[in-house]
């Protein structure tokens, strides 16, 4: 019987499904493990014990679920936001930011249905049951949350019922004037005529002639009244020559001087009855306004039929809008209290659309509004109108940025803002106008679950698969007149935010029980593969959310419904695709590990990404939710600097025998690495732990202990007459190739015997119990039986580093 020495020098496939444990013919089999727990598969081939987690703080209310969300302004300004029941707290680089706390409308049950999109210092937060909110960082310790206001859209379809809407006012700074001083204020012109009011009488058939080629028309408010004007329109006379002005200055009077607000020249070639619209930026309230005319068409006497000077909607006194019927409004129920804040689009008698916002509800048929855009030409009932599409239960659900547009989705539709104007959702035909795409799910009516920006396309995840929305040509921008919506051969998508993994996207499939990789196969076309298929038993526990870490290694992290933390080493260019499981130390209600409820990645200090965890445990008989940061992997350092405990803290200073500040672990049994020496089984009392025997140390790492374990597969080597899978084998020893490993915490056993053999390095003597880091090969004899299948188990139990580059089982097999 020949002794075999098969080497396994790569573990890049991680922990594979039990369904594959007999598939020894697969190439991936010899790069896999049957168990990879608290070990991370490395792109270089080995496995490394994961780093511990550093205690940052306790959640505001440990009795309720909490979620983390990243807020990343730049690589050196990144935050983790603690979202809890009706609040947000802010953290950065391992600590809470002051006492920052922001009130929110979101309840505990809403937290994991929230989606978000961020640009610079603003984050838009969406949920189908709430109006979108915008979180703004004004300074490191100054954060605000406010409802996001859509300007002019989106809207439902145009009304086709007989219901009309009658406004009580036109939204102008001036009323309907019946003479120069009635009903209020004073109209005047440069000629001093009694007809100045005729440009404000809402009668297109009455005209004002200045009797000269230049002059002015003004309106002065009564008493001390001031108003903000931000736009105006002019109507040319409809009979004879137009005699319209061609150059003018629109001005406001501040009590001393006339201030220019808008200047126009070369406004020529007017048609009879033509109306032209002008807008300008103004936030100052003036007591008088005037149109100062400096030139007329054909050098004839200036004549104007009508004007409307619009009052800024945000400063208007709201006025009534009365509907003739409740038909067509909220499925025939009329206006509701929930309509407050809703937009309405109104088509005036001049065939120009304006928009308004509801400020209050009086009854099912009467609301008060503020009018935006331009003043209405008259108070005639309006038959063509559109209600804003967003109402409770039908608000936008996800968002993204794409080609300088802010995009949102809801149900089957995608809404994108005007280019560079994130508030403006007014539809139009110009390339930069806002867009609306209905039935973005394609032939099937599949709900949209998320949208995300990708190179060359806006990705639309739906329950039926992923679609790509882009311009109609290669490298062509998405515009109202140039677009294509392509279906890809992909899996249905869960309502879990996808992550950008460099050359591909990773997303959760509809069942939440698998993770797929989305790659671009051609311009605008994508394909998907189930990256977790060979480890299907891990995501099958139910994926909660995704977080992708780039540095120091490309790792996907995903909390699972059972409280484990899933990991996936993802470097497809090197064929590195390995899943692993992590059980954070602690326990909760029958689970022998802490429950990871949320995971967030943000850029950290020193070039490494921070993985933030929110972990639920039972401590002292009570539920505690803690915020922790996974420490960076131990590499090429001193043993005393290793941090291999969970929910732990570090002490550095004068040599002491007692450390305090551990109240969050009161009553728990912890491990400590103190000046490089391992101490186990210490109990936290009154928030402190003591080293036994009067020992002291200047550097402590103390926290909850955890164990890393790896179980090997049955290797199929050496058979002269075919496979040896299933034949009896007996392992006599294991040769390990180690890197920077504390061997005092490393043990090996066979699959069957169960007696753990410590790894001993006879040539290394640890002075005074100090842990040492060993790099090299070591042979460990083990006790095995012929029923062990040639498989072994490896575990590391100390709060110290362990990296296994390769292992070689030395075994005999039946011929």
Condensed to tens digits (0 to 9), the pLDDT of residues 452-469 reads 998 888 999 999 999 888
Q: Dihedrals φ, ψ of 319, to 5°?
A: -130, 165
Give me the pLDDT at residue 814, please. 66
Contact 611, 557 (CB under 8 A): yes
CA distance 298 to 375: 29
How far, in Å, are 357, 711, 796 from residue 578 at the CA level? 53, 15, 20
Q: Confirm if 314 and 222 have CB atoms less than 8 A apart.
A: no
pLDDT of residue 728 exceeding 80: no
- CA triple 477-483-487, angle to 5 deg: 120
Q: Is the pLDDT of residue 784 over 80?
A: no
pLDDT for 152 equals 87
Residues whose CB falls within 8 Å of the CB of residue 637, separated by 6 or more in sequence, listed in order: none
pLDDT band at 264 (very low <50, low <70, confident <90, very high): very high
Task: Quote the pLDDT of residue 788.
Answer: 61
Q: What do you get for the CA distance between the two ends of the chain, in Å?
A: 7
Rounded CA separation 281/687 (Å):
60
Residue pointed to by tokens 């020249």: 265
Confidence check: pLDDT of 2 > 80: no
pLDDT tops 80 at residue 308 = yes
- Mean pLDDT for the stretch of residues 542-560: 96
**717 pLDDT higher than 90:** no
The pLDDT value given to residue 722: 54
Q: Tell me how far apart the alpha carbons of residues 697 and 673 are, in angstroms, rounded to a whole number.
A: 9
**Nearest in space to 248 (alpha carbons), one of 261, 236, 239, 238:** 261
Tell me, rounded to whole angstroms, the distance of Cα 595 from its chain centroid: 23
* Greatest extent of the chain over all pairs of C-alpha atoms, in Å: 122
The reported pTM is 0.88
| pLDDT above 90: residue 643 | yes
Average pLDDT over residues 552-569: 97
User: pLDDT digits over 276-287, tens only?
Assistant: 999 999 999 999
Identify the pLDDT of residue 207.
94
**E strand or H helix at 464, and its extent?**
none
Structure tokens given for 803 = 């990296």
Model pLDDT for residues 355-366, shown as the tens digit of each residue:
999 999 999 999
Supply the pLDDT for residue 393.
79
**139-143, 430-434, 778-782: range with highest mean pLDDT:** 139-143
Report the pLDDT value the prediction gives residue 27, as an integer from 0 to 100.
Answer: 85
Nearest to 616 by CA among 581, 587, 646, 645: 587
Which DSSP symbol is given to 155?
B
What is the pLDDT confidence band of residue 769, given thresholds at 50, 70 and 90? low
Q: Other C-beta atoms within 10 Å of 103: how many? A: 9
Place of tokens 């009516």: 445
Q: In what order do the strands lie in the sheet with 595-603?
A: 595-603, 609-619, 622-630, 53-58, 646-656, 697-704, 669-674, 677-683
Check pLDDT > 70 for residue 697: yes
Confirm if 459 and 453 have CB atoms less than 8 A apart.
yes
What's the burial of 351, exposed, middle or buried (CB within 10 Å: 0-12/13-18/19+)?
Answer: exposed
d(CA 639, CA 415): 55
* Share above pLDDT 90 across residues of the chain, in percent, rounded to a whole number: 75
Strand partners, 209: 303
Residue 736 has pLDDT above 60, yes or no: yes
For residue 585, give the nearest of 747, 480, 706 by alpha carbon: 706
**Which superfamily, per CATH, for 186-314?**
Galactose-binding domain-like (2.60.120.260)
Enumerate the domain spans of the chain. Answer: 3-50+710-813, 165-170+316-387, 186-314, 398-493+504-524, 646-705
- Across the beta sheet with 229-235, what order do the strands follow? 275-279, 229-235, 306-311
Is residue 99 within 8 A of residue 89, CB to CB? The reply is: no
**3-class DSSP state for residue 465?**
strand
CA angle 14, 20, 24 (to 5 degrees): 90
DSSP codes, 614-633: EEEEEETTEEEEEEEEEPPP
CA atoms within 13 A on the CB side of 337: 0
The mean per-residue pLDDT over the stretch 9-30 comes to 91
88-127 per-position pLDDT tens digit: 999 999 999 999 999 999 999 999 999 999 999 999 999 9
CA–CA dist 712, 790 (Å, integer): 9
HSE-CB at 152 with a 13 A cutoff on CA atoms is: 22
Looking at the predicted structure, is the pLDDT value of residue 167 above 90? Answer: yes
How far apart (Å, rounded) are the C-alpha atoms in residues 651 and 673? 11
Quote the pLDDT of residue 810: 85
Q: Is 768 helix (H, G, I), strand (E, B) or coil?
A: helix
CA distance 790 to 28: 18
CB 538 within 8 A of CB 15: yes
**For the chain, counts of helices (H) and of strands (E):** 0, 63
The answer to whether residue 56 scores a pLDDT higher than 90 is: yes
The third-level CATH classification (topology) of the domain covering 165-170+316-387 is Thrombin, subunit H (2.40.10)
Determine the Cα–Cα distance for residues 468 and 451; give it in Å rounded to an integer: 10
Distance between CA atoms of residues 171 and 390, nearest Å: 24
pLDDT tens digit sequence for 391-429: 887 899 999 999 999 999 998 899 999 999 999 898 888
Enumerate residues 6+ apart whose C-beta is below 8 A from 117: 123, 124, 398, 399, 400, 401, 406
668 vs 755, residue with greater confidence? 668
- Is residue 815 predicted with pLDDT exceeding 70? no
Nearest CA to 471 out of 486, 460, 461, 450 is that of 486
Band (pLDDT 50/70/90 cuts) for residue 521 is confident
Work out the number of other CB atoms within 10 angstroms of the CB of residue 266.
8
Return the percentage of the chain with pLDDT > 70, whole number. 95
pLDDT at position 75 over 90: no
């Amino acid at each position: 019987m020949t002794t075999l020495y098969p080497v396994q020098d790569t573990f890049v496939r991680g922990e594979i499904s039990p369904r594959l444990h007999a598939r020894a013919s697969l190439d991936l089999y010899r790069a896999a493990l049957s168990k990879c727990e608290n070990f991370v598969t490395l792109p270089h081939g080995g496995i490394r014990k994961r780093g511990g987690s550093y205690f940052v703080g306790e959640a505001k209310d440990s009795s309720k679920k909490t979620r983390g969300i990243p807020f990343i302004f730049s690589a050196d300004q990144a935050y983790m936001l603690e979202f809890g029941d009706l609040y947000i707290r802010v953290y950065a680089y391992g600590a809470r930011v002051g006492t920052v706390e922001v009130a929110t409308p979101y309840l505990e049950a809403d937290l994991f249905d929230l989606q978000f999109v961020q640009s610079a210092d603003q984050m838009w937060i969406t949920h189908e049951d709430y109006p979108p909110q915008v979180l703004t960082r004004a300074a490191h310790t100054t954060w605000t949350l406010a409802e996001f206001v859509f300007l002019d859209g989106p809207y439902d379809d145009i009304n086709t019922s007989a219901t009309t809407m009658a406004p009580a006012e036109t939204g102008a700074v001036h009323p309907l004037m019946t003479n120069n001083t009635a009903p209020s204020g004073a109209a005047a012109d440069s000629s001093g005529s009694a007809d100045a009011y005729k440009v404000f009488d809402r009668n297109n058939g009455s005209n004002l002639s200045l009797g000269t080629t230049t002059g002015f028309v003004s309106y002065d408010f009564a008493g001390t009244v001031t108003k903000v004007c931000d736009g105006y329109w002019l109507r040319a006379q409809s009979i004879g020559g137009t005699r319209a002005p061609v150059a003018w200055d629109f001005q406001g009077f501040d009590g001393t001087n006339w201030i220019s607000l808008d200047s126009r020249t070369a406004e020529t070639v007017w048609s009879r009855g033509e109306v032209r619209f002008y807008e300008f930026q103004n936030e100052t309230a003036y007591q008088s306004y005037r149109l100062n005319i400096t030139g007329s068409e054909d050098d004839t006497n200036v004549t104007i039929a009508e004007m409307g000077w619009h009052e800024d909607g945000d400063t208007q006194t709201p006025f009534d809008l009365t509907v003739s019927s409740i038909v067509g409004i909220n499925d025939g129920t009329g206006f509701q209290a929930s309509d407050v804040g809703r937009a309405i689009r109104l088509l005036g008698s001049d065939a120009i659309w304006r928009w308004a916002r509801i400020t209050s509800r009086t009854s099912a048929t009467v609301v008060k509004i503020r009018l935006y855009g331009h003043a209405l030409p008259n108070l005639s009932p309006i038959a063509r109108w559109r209600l804003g599409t967003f109402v409770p239960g039908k608000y936008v659900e996800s968002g993204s940025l794409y080609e300088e547009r802010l995009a949102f989705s809801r149900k089957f539709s995608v809404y994108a803002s005007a280019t560079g104007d994130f508030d403006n959702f007014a539809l139009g035909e110009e390339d930069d106008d806002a867009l609306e795409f209905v039935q973005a799910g394609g032939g099937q009516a599949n709900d949209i679950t998320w949208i995300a920006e990708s190179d060359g396309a806006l990705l639309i995840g739906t329950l039926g698969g992923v679609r790509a929305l882009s311009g109609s040509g290669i490298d062509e921008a998405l515009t109202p007149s140039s677009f294509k919506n392509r279906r890809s051969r992909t899996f249905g998508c869960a309502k879990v935010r996808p992550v950008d993994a460099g050359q591909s996207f990773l997303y959760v499939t509809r069942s939440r029980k698998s993770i797929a990789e989305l790659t671009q196969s051609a311009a605008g076309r994508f394909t998907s593969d189930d990256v977790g298929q060979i480890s299907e038993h891990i995501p099958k526990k139910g994926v909660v959310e995704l977080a992708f870490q780039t540095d120091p290694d490309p790792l996907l992290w995903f909390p699972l419904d059972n409280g484990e933390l899933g990991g996936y080493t993802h470097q497809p260019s090197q064929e590195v695709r390995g899943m692993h499981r992590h059980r954070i130390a602690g326990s909760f209600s029958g689970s022998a590990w802490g429950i990871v409820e949320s995971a967030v990645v943000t850029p950290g200090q020193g070039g490494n990404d921070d993985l933030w965890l929110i972990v639920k445990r039972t401590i002292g008989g009570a539920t505690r939710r803690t915020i922790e940061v996974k420490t960076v992997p131990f590499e090429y350092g001193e043993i005393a600097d290793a941090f291999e405990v969970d929910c732990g803290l570090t002490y550095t200073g004068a040599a002491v025998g007692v450390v305090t500040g551990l109240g969050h672990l009161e009553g728990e049994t912890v491990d400590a690495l103190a000046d490089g020496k391992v101490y186990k089984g210490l109990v936290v009392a009154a928030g402190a732990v003591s080293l036994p025997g009067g020992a002291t140390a200047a550097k402590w790492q103390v926290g909850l202990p955890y164990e890393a374990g790896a179980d090997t597969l049955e290797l199929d080597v050496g058979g002269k007459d075919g496979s040896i899978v299933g034949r009896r084998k007996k392992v006599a020893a294991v040769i390990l190739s180690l890197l920077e490993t504390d061997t005092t915490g490393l043990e090996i056993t066979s699959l069957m015997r169960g007696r753990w053999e410590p790894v001993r390095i006879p040539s290394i003597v640890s002075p005074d119990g100090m842990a040492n880091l060993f790099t090299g090969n070591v042979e460990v004899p083990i006790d095995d039986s012929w029923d062990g299948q040639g498989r072994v188990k490896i575990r590391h139990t100390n709060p110290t580093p362990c990296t296994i580059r390769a292992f070689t089982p030395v075994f005999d097999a039946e011929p």
